[in-house]
A = this chain, B = another copy of it.
Amino acid sequence: MARPREFDETAVLDAAVRQFWMYGYEATSVRDLAQSMGITGASLYNAFGDKRSVFRRALAHYVETSFGDRVGRFEKGLPPKAAIEAFFREIVERSIQDKDRKGCLLVNSALEVAPHDPDFQATIAEVLVKVEAFFRRCVQAGQRDGEISTTQSAEDLARLLLGVHLGIRVLARARPERALLEGLVRPALELLKPTPSS
């Protein structure tokens, strides 16, 4: 019963993601946002409420299309250890390819916005728990199949993989060098190998 919105919501969200991803929350002004989203400031406030809400929506959109998609592709389509390897291979490759050094919006936000915003703190921590849970499921399945070592608990191995993952995301912004990132992953994957004796 009224004039319909002229813009596609997921399309403008993609643009918002890109902007926050490149410049962070604080350094992105509402005008920057509106321009890159191709809408006016009034439309932005009309459709989303305020800057924080745009960010909230953008972050959720990013997590869904980035991490969620990756987990879906690898966990269901590959054996556990291969899923872990593919996960890291893809992230390393994208980190090296990305000339903008954007890193990971979630990790960037974990450092920039989480510490001073209880809401985002909880949201971001939850996602990190999900990343850890993904690794844990893979490790547990691999341990059952005998393709992953059982000398360390699945919990600890998952924690290590989470940490390695976050480390890669930091280096992707500061030192996106292939030798460094691949060399970092190599020992981590080696740690998963079962001991030849058992």
Contacts and interface: CB of A to CB of B under 8 A. Distances in A.
Contacts of A175: 125, 128-129
B27 A157 contact: no
Contact of A111 (B108, B164, B165): B108
Nearest to A106: B174
Interface stretch (A48-56, A58-66, A181-189): A181-189
A110 B190 contact: no
B166 A188 contact: no
A5 interface: no
A160 B170 contact: no
A165 B167 contact: yes
Contacts of A108: 111
Interface string A79-109: 0000000000000000000001111000110
Most chain B CB within a 10 A radius of its CB, from A108, A129, A163, A180: A163
Contacts of A163: 163-164, 167-168, 171, 184, 188
Contact of A24 (B26, B155, B187): B26
Contacts of A24: 26, 112
Contacts of A188: 160, 163
Interface of A: 23-24, 26-27, 100-103, 107-108, 110-112, 114-116, 121, 124-125, 128-129, 132, 151-153, 155-157, 159-160, 162-171, 173-175, 180, 183-184, 186-188, 190-191
17 contacts: A26-B26, A102-B115, A103-B115, A108-B111, A111-B170, A128-B171, A132-B180, A152-B187, A155-B183, A156-B183, A156-B184, A160-B183, A163-B163, A163-B168, A166-B170, A167-B167, A167-B170
Given A100-B115, A156-B183, A166-B167, 10 more contacts: A111-B111, A114-B173, A153-B183, A159-B187, A162-B171, A162-B184, A164-B167, A166-B166, A166-B171, A169-B170
